Amino acid sequence: MTEDVVELFVFHPGYLDQDLLDHSSLTLPRPKEVAMLIAPATKEWLKEQRVELIDCRDL
């Protein structure tokens, strides 16, 4: 890659508790996102794609 590009991806990972089950429509996606984000295959794919993870303080 020859230029710096910032792409924003927003996730809502989390573990379910009764409050989320009672009040959120994002109940099933949250634990699935946790599993995807912590998977070794995800880390390897990001490395292969030369993706640098940053937070807003790095911009």
* Residues 14-59 pLDDT 10s: 888 898 889 988 788 888 999 999 999 999 999 999 998 888 788 7
Q: What is the pLDDT of residue 54?
A: 84
Mean pLDDT of 5-22: 86
In the predicted structure, residue 2 carries a pLDDT above the cut 70: no
The pLDDT value recorded for residue 40 is: 97
| Residues 36, 34: Cα–Cα separation, whole Å | 5
What's the pLDDT at 3? 72
Number of domains in the chain: 1
Q: In terms of residue numbers, what domain contains 6?
A: 1-59
- pTM over 0.75, yes/no: no
